[in-house]
């Protein structure tokens, strides 16, 4: 299928992407725009980044708006979904990409930071998925973002990996709760990916060492993950209730 034909096929489809102002969420938004989607860029604090992400979608061939919402606040998330329906007429795809990753050994992590990680990564996914279940049209898809760290088990990532383990549990159960509806629910679990979430605060020596670990000997790119998200959002109708580990071969 050519890009032009893909855009025509998907021109009526609407996606909400949380965490869409940067990183994987921004790349996924632009990739869906290339497929002809109308995209609602959900963002927490980066208005400028979200507005630029919306421009990326439009330049790729889709339509887009940016809407602020705290993913852990049910009222704000409901308003985000309301806006998508008002602007574009419905919702077909929800990509749950909002997340934070403060790092510290378990014994040293401030519990307030732990609560913030759980609030954004785990509660945020739960709240957004609740609205998605109620609003996504038949033929749609819910794509949650987990992490290969649930299996890589690196020191200092205990809180982050625990929150993402919860995301995987939500994903697998929700897929089964939607029996009888034509809606798929999957999670993508990236390995180390060259976004600010991974790169910020790490010395170059550590980044280089981690980049050399997979057989492909590089970090993932946000565009690598966006391709998988776009596949799960549209053509991958027979993939359901799965966690897709996207890490260049670091783990199976």
Active site residues: 160
Residues 45 and 220: their CA atoms lie apart, in Å, by 25
- Paired residues of 142 in beta bridges: 94, 185
Query: What kind and span of H or E run contains 27?
Result: helix 23-34
DSSP secondary structure code for residue 243 in this structure: E
Q: Any residues with CB less than 8 A from the CB of 193 and at least 6 apart, and which? A: 23, 24, 219, 220, 221, 222, 224, 225
C-alpha 134: how far from chain center:
19
Count the neighbouring beta carbons within 10 Å of the beta carbon of residue 200: 8
DSSP states of 2-43 as a string? -HHHHHHHTTT-EEEEETTTSHHHHHHHHHHHHTT-EEEEEE
- Token digits of residue 148: 């290969």
Residues 141 and 133: their CA atoms lie apart, in Å, by 10
DSSP states of 54-68 as a string? HHHHHHHT-EEEEEE
Of 113, 71, 59, 62, nearest to 96 (Cα)?
Answer: 71
Of 14, 32, 117, 112, nearest to 71 (Cα)?
Answer: 117
């Amino acid at each position: 299928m050519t890009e032009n034909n893909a855009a025509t096929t998907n021109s009526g489809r609407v996606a909400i992407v949380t965490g869409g102002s940067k990183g994987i969420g921004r790349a996924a938004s632009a990739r869906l725009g290339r497929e002809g989607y109308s995209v609602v860029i959900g963002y927490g604090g980066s208005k400028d980044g979200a507005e630029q992400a919306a421009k990326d979608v439009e330049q790729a061939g889709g339509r887009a708006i940016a809407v602020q919402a705290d993913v852990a606040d049910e009222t704000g998330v409901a308003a985000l979904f309301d806006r998508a329906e008002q602007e574009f007429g419905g919702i077909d795809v929800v990509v749950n990409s909002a997340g934070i990753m403060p790092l510290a050994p378990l014994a040293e992590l401030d519990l307030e930071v732990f609560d913030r990680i759980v609030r954004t990564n785990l509660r945020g996914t739960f709240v957004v998925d609740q609205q998605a279940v109620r609003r996504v049209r038949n033929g749609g898809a819910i794509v949650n973002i987990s992490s290969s760290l649930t299996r890589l088990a690196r020191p200092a990532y205990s809180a982050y990996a625990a929150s993402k383990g919860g995301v995987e549990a939500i994903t697998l159960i929700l897929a089964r709760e939607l029996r009888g509806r034509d809606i798929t629910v999957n999670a993508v679990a990236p390995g180390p990916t060259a976004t600010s979430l991974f790169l910020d605060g790490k010395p170059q020596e550590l980044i280089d060492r981690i980049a050399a670990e997979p057989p492909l000997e590089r970090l993932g790119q946000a565009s690598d993950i966006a391709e998988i998200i776009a596949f799960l959002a549209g053509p991958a109708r027979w993939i359901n209730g799965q966690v897709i580990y996207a890490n260049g071969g670091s783990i199976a």
